[in-house]
Amino acid sequence: MGAGAGVSTGTAARWVERWERQQQLYAVDREERFAVIADLVEHVAGGRPAPLVLDLGSGPGCLAARLAARLPGAEVVAVDADPLLLELGSAHYGRALRFVNALIGEPGWLDRLGLDRTADAVVSTTALHYLGERTLRRVYGELAGLLRPGGILVNGDHISPDSARMSELARDVGRRHAARHAVCGHEEDWESWWSGAAGDPELAPLLSHGGEGGRAPCEGNDLTVSGHVALLREAGFTDVGAVWQVGPSHVLAAVR
């Protein structure tokens, strides 16, 4: 899409910053999780010329921009289905990223990415839990086929441990971590961000009638860590496992 034709750079910067702040409510130790994901991508793709990296469910491109800064010369593609978030990212980050409007798992969604080569890395953060298990199984298989041998899929998300007791403990750890870092008292959340965006005359035309951009209904899944690992192995990934965790927030890595 175009480089922010409908939103000024000043407006985009302000709303992307607000997006970053409200997202801290929903990802335990979000900045460290982003850094871990970037570490993994750099480990796998950092020595390759012009690596191709995809960020699925990118929002306005906050993680994608960090990856582009970490890997100068990489082609970083930010993929999301929300026209408002894509427009904000395009206006704010400009040509550092390529933005694509596509709904993950929709029939033909990979064709919309316009890729002419295999990817070195695919990342996603706080997005794949929206997919139902059947859809996620298919998407994992599609991504295995999209990655080069040795390429990596990295998923940072809310993923429960394998037992109810461990899940309870992980949630408590997450709550205590947030309280220690003064995240719980944050002034803006998901609903208030979208409500504020609807009241901004530059952004309102990009919102759907539902008030939250172009997001599809959430199918959702309750897969545990071992459930994700099983699906990824079934999809053809050879090495799979959790490489980072704080409370219920995990980073799973899967190598093709």
pLDDT (tens, 9 = 90+) of the chain, 256 residues, equals 444 458 999 999 999 999 999 998 887 789 999 999 999 999 999 889 999 999 999 999 999 999 999 999 999 999 999 999 999 999 999 999 999 999 999 999 999 999 999 999 999 999 999 999 999 999 999 999 999 999 999 999 989 888 888 878 878 887 887 777 765 555 788 999 999 999 999 999 998 644 555 555 677 788 999 999 999 999 999 999 999 999 889 999 999 9
pLDDT at 59: 96
pLDDT at 183: 55
Rounded to the nearest angstrom, the gap between the alpha carbon of residue 85 and the centroid of all alpha carbons in its chain is: 12
pLDDT at 92: 97
What CA–CA distance (Å, rounded) separates 78 from 227?
26
Contacts of residue 31, defined as CB under 8 A and 6 or more positions apart, other chains included, come to none
Q: Which helix (H) or strand (E) holds 157?
A: strand 147-158
pLDDT at 175: 80
pLDDT at 155: 97
What CA–CA distance (Å, rounded) separates 53 from 236?
19
For the chain, the distance separating the N- and C-terminal CA atoms, rounded to the nearest angstrom, is 30
Secondary structure E strands in 38-86: 52-56, 75-80
pTM above 0.75, yes or no: yes
DSSP category for residue 121: E
What CA–CA distance (Å, rounded) separates 164 from 166?
6
What CA–CA distance (Å, rounded) separates 63 from 185?
24
Give me Rg for the CA atoms of the chain.
18
pLDDT at 185: 52
CB 33 within 8 Å of CB 125: yes
- Residue 190 tokens read as 């998901």
pLDDT at 3: 41
pLDDT at 4: 41
pLDDT at 116: 93
